[in-house]
């Protein structure tokens, strides 16, 4: 099946395999998938799941996606933010961008925190599903369409 850009589209959303680095046509946005960030100092947690760098707005988002077997998704969200604190500071200095961590955590039984929608609303693009509990992997393939 051909897409409107001449690329082969998968029949099912879960067959999608993202490119490691995706840059918009005008170079405004760069999306890094599962890439280690090279820093001047040694930072142990330097490989978030997704990095979205908006060169036009001067922002950077570190997105960490997880499906948790635990019920305490609020604690896991806080742990993810703390985990990437050093990397956030380093990226802000190196790339001169405002950086924030966006934890996307869903419990295995569909539990989400009260902050979940606030975090997700920061991710640019067109979300294909608002029913986050039924498709927890939506964040891995839906926000590239805006650019």
Quick one: pLDDT at residue 136? 45
CA distance 129 to 142: 9
pLDDT at residue 41 greater than cutoff 50? yes
CA distance 70 to 124: 28
Residue with the two structure tokens 């295995």: 108
Quick one: pLDDT at residue 27? 76
Quick one: pLDDT at residue 142? 44
Quick one: pLDDT at residue 92? 95
21-23 and 98-107 beta bridge pairing: unpaired
Pick 21 or 112 by higher pLDDT: 112
Average pLDDT, the chain: 79
pLDDT at residue 3 greater than cutoff 60? no
Quick one: pLDDT at residue 26? 75
Q: How confident is the model at residue 61 (pLDDT cuts 50, 70, 90)?
A: very high
Q: Which two tokens stand for residue 120?
A: 């997700």
CA distance 131 to 138: 9
Beta strands in the chain (DSSP E): 21-23, 29-33, 50-54, 59-68, 98-107
User: Do the Cβ atoms of 31 and 22 come closer than 8 Å?
Assistant: yes
Pick 143 or 57 by higher pLDDT: 57
């Amino acid at each position: 099946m051909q897409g409107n850009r001449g690329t082969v589209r998968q029949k099912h959303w879960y067959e999608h395999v993202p490119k490691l680095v995706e840059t918009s046509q005008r170079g405004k946005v760069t999306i890094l998938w599962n890439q280690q960030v090279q820093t001047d100092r040694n930072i142990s947690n330097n490989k978030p799941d997704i990095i979205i760098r908006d060169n036009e707005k001067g922002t950077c988002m570190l997105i960490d996606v997880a499906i948790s077997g635990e019920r305490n998704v609020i604690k896991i969200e806080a742990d993810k933010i703390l985990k990437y604190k050093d990397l956030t500071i380093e990226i802000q200095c190196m790339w001169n961008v405002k950086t924030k961590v966006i934890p996307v955590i869903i419990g295995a039984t569909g539990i989400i925190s009260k902050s979940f929608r606030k975090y997700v609303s920061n991710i640019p693009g067109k979300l294909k599903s608002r029913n986050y509990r039924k498709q927890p992997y939506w964040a891995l393939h839906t926000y590239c369409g805006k650019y």
